[in-house]
Amino acid sequence: MLALSVDIEDWYHLPYVTGSPYSTYRDVNDFFKKWDDRYDYLSKPCERVLKLLDDFKIQATFFIVADIVDNYPGMVEKIVDGGHEIGCHGLHHECAIDPKTKKAIRGVDNFERQITVAKKKLELMSKERIIGFRAPSAYIAGWMVDSIEKLGFKYDSSVSVNSLYNKCDEKLKNVTSVPYYPVKGGLRPGEERDIIEIPWPYFKIAGIKFPTGGGPFLRFGGARYIKLGLYQSLKRGDAVFYFHPIDLSDEKFPGKFSAKRPFYWAIKGKTVEKRIRFILKNIDGELGTCRDIWEKMR
């Protein structure tokens, strides 16, 4: 099964604008205090994503940054009305570990407090129990999985094993793209427990693992590249694919921040939407949500 996932965040949630040691604004609250221009570049592409999924008659898992509930009235309701699964993508999309040192930034207690608030916000809105988590910007550590297990989550989908980058706080040798039980206190495979990890897909050739989960790699690599990786990962077992509605945006994001990362957003908009449609049309096998994968493993 291929689980489809959509990460709901806006341009200012990205680590170069807010919520990381190198961001322009300390956090989203600081951003809203100082930003007096238009901030919403998410609503329009989000509508297009809902339409796209409707066209294919499929349900996806939406990992939502919980402050979206407050600042985009009606958006989460629309996603819920579409019958999609709601997952948690943090309260303000802040990195919980330092991208360089991989050490906890604000401590375990702060992380747990934030995620408790985020989970409650999303549960009030969706009237369902939230069981899925994806770490903001996919910076993930073993202690974070222990924390979310304690808070009632049943799966995490943040680990990406590949040869190009590592956002985990340890090197993972025995992890592939197949869902697994992480060991307590770490991300390595361990004994059966109450939470699973749904790692991201990759394409392996000549011993090199190329990440093909989606997001930036969908924008840079193209649909055929992603499809190869999904095809190979589905041969290993269940897999997950993700994209952001802002990947589909036709608009230029506020200048100063786009200029900081000139290549990051070089390809987006209709091209990316076409690629997603190509992938969904051409993928062999069943499509589902992350919850469906979790249910299969119970």
Minimum distance from CB of 13 to Zn ion (Å)?
A: 7
Q: How far is the CB of 162 from Zn ion (least distance, A)?
A: 17
Write down the least CB distance from residue 92 to Zn ion, Å.
Answer: 11
Tell me 214's DSSP state. Answer: B
- Residue with smaller CB distance to Zn ion, 114 or 188: 114
Residues 8-67 that bind Zn ion (CB under 5 A): 9
Inter-residue contact 17 to 264 (CB < 8 Å): no
Q: Which residue number places its CB atom closest to Zn ion?
A: 7
Nearer to Zn ion, 226 or 234 (CB): 226
Residue number with CB closer to Zn ion (7 or 67): 7
Task: Kindly tell me which residue out of 2, 7, 18, 62 binds Zn ion, with binding defined by CB under 5 A.
Answer: 7
String marking each residue 173-192 x if it binds Zn ion according to CB under 5 A: --------------------
Residue 132 phi, psi dihedral angles, 5° rounding = -115, 140
| Token reading at 189 | 């495979």
The answer to whether 248 touches 268, Cβ cutoff 8 Å, is: yes
Nearest to Zn ion of 8, 52 (CB atom): 8
In 3D, which of 166, 31, 178, 200 has the Cα closest to residue 97? 166
- From the list 1-9, 66-74, 207-215, 270-278, the region that binds Zn ion by CB under 5 A is 1-9
**DSSP secondary-structure letter at 100?**
T
Q: How many chain residues bind Zn ion (CB under 5 A)?
A: 2
H/E stretch holding 85? strand 85-88
Between 244 and 291, name the residue whose CB sits nearer to Zn ion: 244
Supply 193's token pair: 């427990």
- Going residue by residue from 94 to 123, which x/- string records binding to Zn ion, judged by CB under 5 A? ------------------------------
Q: What kind and span of H or E run contains 133? A: strand 132-133
Q: How far apart are CA 64 and CA 86, in angstroms?
A: 7
Q: List Cβ neighbours of 15 (8 Å cut-off, separation of 6 or more).
A: 22, 23, 95, 99, 137
CB of 254 to Zn ion, least distance (A): 18
Distance CA 246, CA 243 (A): 9
The β-bridge relationship of strands 2-8 and 85-88 is unpaired
Distance, in Å, from the CA atom of 45 to the CA atom of 244, rounded to the nearest integer, reads 9
Stretch that binds Zn ion, among 2-10, 30-38, 43-51, 228-236 (CB under 5 A): 2-10
| Contact range with Zn ion by CB under 5 A, out of 3-11, 192-200, 224-232, 284-292 | 3-11
**Parallel, antiparallel, or unpaired for β 196-197 and 202-205?**
unpaired
Q: Which is nearer to Zn ion, 90 or 229 (CB)?
A: 90
Give the residue with the Cβ less far from Zn ion, 7 or 273: 7
Q: State the minimum distance, in angstroms, from the CB of residue 205 to Zn ion.
A: 28
Binding site for Zn ion (CB under 5 A): 7, 9
